[in-house]
Amino acid sequence: MVAPTLSVMTSVTSSAAAPAVEASDHGTVPAGRRSAVRSLLRLWPYVRPVRGTLVAAALVSVGGSALTLVIPLALKGIVDGPVTRRDPSGVWLGGAVLLALGIAEAALFGARRVLTARPLARFEADLRAALFSHLQRLPVAFHDRWPSGQLLSRGTADLTLLRIFLSFPLTFLLVNAVTVVTGFAILLAQEWRLGLVLLAPAVPVMVMCSVFERRFGAAARTARDRLGDLTTLMEESVLGIRILKGFGCHRAQERAFAALAGRLRETELLKARLLGTVWAVVTVLPELAIGTALVLGAAEVADGTLSAGTLVAFLSTALALRWPVESFGFLLAITQDAATAADRWFEVMDAPPAAAGDRPRALPAPRPATAADGGLRLTGVRFRYPDAPPDAPPVLDGVDLHVRPGETMALVGATGSGKTTLTALLPRLLEPTAGRITLDGRDITALPRERLRALVAVAFEDPVLFSASAGENVLMGAPAATEDDLLRALAVAQAGFVHDLPHGHRTQVGEQGLSLSGGQRQRLALARAVVGRPPFLVLDDPLSALDVRTEALVEAALREVLATTTALVVAHRPSTVLLADRVALLSGGRITAVGTHRELLHHSEEYAWLMSASGRAPGRSPQGARP
């Protein structure tokens, strides 16, 4: 079964193991220790700009609810007045008053929607922009640990839930509470004995809502996390559709999807059962109380101790309070969903952008730069992945390397020796566990990341392209570059095929550039690295997808670029090694040999084995670290 299926099936098993816990693959919090109020209050900095509009909407809604309670009083006046006196004209006047009250009530609730639409759309957009911006600042180590579907669901469906909460439940929890308190005050004033009958279900309803809130919160968290897992699977299936079809794995992927969708369905059904139970309780108990009050009130009217108008007003008020009371369960459910969405959003926003997932290390004291510090220097660099077992050896263990100014250094090592990891340290995509890296004597940790990445350009082993034009993909390497710079970079990378596309370099290359071949994507990635004429250049096996003829042409053009920059080139083939002035051999987490290609062939058995095609292993096997 393919890797996406395995990863998702693992998450299915883990999420199924702890349904009673607010769980995420990235940290769990016991459900009993979570507060929905505290979770939602953390959104205050983002709510503050629209607080005036929300307050106005709440006041308008309170006004609408107040009119709902005035209508029964108007009914009382009609029944005890014109109806009792048999005055038709008074009845028509009373009907006109009721119509006016109804129209005013509808207008106020309509105004609430108009008031909240624009500011809440802004609120959602601000949260989404803040999340996206934060994700761009988080280091690669963070993104390596988090499934993309979990991040996508936090930036889309979860934020929609928060907007819905502010537009409806937040307002109506307040409005309904005010309506219920005011309504019961009116009921007690009209007939206190019947009012106490209606108050009788209050305690069991509150207990039921408390239990419901706790259990529904745990189920809501599980559902949101499982939805994130499902999003991850769908994204991987779409992006990896060629692999799935090529290896006939679509049925296995369908089974994985069905398993995840089934578990999500189970959780949603649990939420529905909980909501149905609480809704039944908060509906049946008040209905029983209203029925009892109706019987007792009718008996009092028959005895002459209560006017018919008072009973009509009393029952009309009680019926007007049905929705505010019955809706509490529904509103609490949305509130719990929103609190869960807020928790998930802050799980990402709380990750420190500078060192998320990196282990703290003590930096050496700065010292004055000397001429010998020029170029790129690594001193005692160690690195281990944050998720590595404690007893696992580090990927890099005391790397010392000096690439002189204007020199091209080839980095050679067995598969899994840590070459790609080392190159990721230079632009600080990963942070070293210990040691020091300098550019012309300046510690890279002392440079702002934007400045560092303007100095160091990287062509990665995996040539990722974006849903943009070919030219836009190249110019990501230097946004200020000119048209001439773009054409020069395309020429260096032997990417002349771009000019044959339907719209030249303005042609859209599609998602991940899948409309292009692997070699074409790699050449565009190389052009992206050289377009800005960076002083330091890192090339991670940049020619692996090229045919022999194109490789020779690219190498010839690259020699001119490498002559004007300090470069580190990860190489697996002798043809790439020959681009370099010197070669460094990475083995066992250390640089074990440095010299020219010819020198290492004569003095390093391991290097000679790596550069040969005989398949004869050297006397000792190179120690792998992590692919």
pLDDT of residue 373: 63
Cβ(538)–Cβ(544) below 8 Å: no
Mean local confidence (pLDDT), 547-573: 82
- 148 pLDDT above the threshold of 80: yes
Counting beta carbons within 10 angstroms of the beta carbon of residue 147, is it exposed (0 to 12), middle (13 to 18) or buried (19 or more)? Answer: buried
Q: In this structure, what DSSP letter does residue 81 have?
A: I
Confidence of residue 334 (pLDDT cuts 50, 70, 90): confident
Do 127 and 158 form a contact (C-beta atoms < 8 A)? no
Q: Provide CATH code, domain 371-386+394-611.
A: 3.40.50.300
Tell whether the model's pLDDT for residue 439 goes beyond 90. yes
Arithmetic mean of pLDDT, 223-250 = 81
Question: What would you report as the CA-atom Rg of the chain, rounded to the nearest whole angstrom?
Answer: 35
- Amino acid type, 102: G
User: Which three-class secondary structure string do you get for 166-180?
Assistant: HHCHHHHHHHHHHHH
Q: Is the pLDDT of residue 578 over 60?
A: yes
Q: Do residues 339 and 217 make contact, with C-beta atoms less than 8 angstroms apart?
A: yes
Q: Say if residues 445 and 619 touch (Cβ distance below 8 Å).
A: no
pLDDT confidence of residue 3: 38
Query: Per-residue pLDDT tens for 196-222?
Result: 888 888 888 888 877 887 888 888 889
pLDDT tens profile 99-127: 887 888 788 878 877 887 888 888 888 99
Which is higher by pLDDT, 589 or 617? 589
Per-chain mean pLDDT for the chain: 80
Looking at domain 3-349, its CATH class is mainly alpha
Structure tokens at 392: 């696992």
Q: What is the pLDDT of residue 87?
A: 67
Distance CA 421, CA 425 (A): 7
CA 422 vs CA 330, 405, 412, 483: distances in Å: 54, 19, 12, 33
- Which of 129-143, 148-162, 355-369 is least confident? 355-369
Per-residue pLDDT band at 626 (split at 50, 70, 90): very low
For 377-390, the pLDDT digits (tens) are 999 999 988 777 88
Give phi and psi for 313, each to the nearest 5: -65, -40
Whole-angstrom Cα distance, residue 562 to residue 494? 15
d(CA 373, CA 590): 20
pLDDT band at 34 (very low <50, low <70, confident <90, very high): low
Quick one: what percent of the chain has pLDDT higher than 70?
87
Provide the token pair at 37: 């109020």
Instruction: Give backbone dihedrals phi and psi of 565, rounded to 5 degrees, phi first.
Output: -145, 165
Average pLDDT over residues 261-274: 91
Whole-model pTM?
0.69
3-state SS, residue 75: helix
Does 183 have pLDDT greater than 90? no
Domain ranges of the chain: 3-349, 371-386+394-611
Assess contact for 556 and 503: CB atoms under 8 A. Answer: no
Cα(148)–Cα(169) distance, integer angstroms: 30
- Over residues 576-599, mean pLDDT: 90
Query: Residue 451: helix, strand or coil by DSSP?
Result: helix
Answer left, alpha or beta for residue 530, where phi above 0 means left and psi between -120 and 50 means alpha.
Answer: alpha
Residue 563 DSSP SS3: coil
482 burial type by CB count under 10 A (0-12 exposed, 13-18 middle, 19+ buried): exposed
pLDDT band at 405 (very low <50, low <70, confident <90, very high): very high
Tens digit of each residue's pLDDT (9 = 90 or more) over 79-106: 766 666 676 766 777 778 778 878 887 8
- Partners of residue 459 on adjacent β-strands: 539
Cα 255 vs. chain centroid, distance in angstroms? Answer: 26
Q: Which residue has the higher pLDDT, 46 or 554?
A: 46
- Which residue would you say has higher pLDDT here, 541 or 567? 567
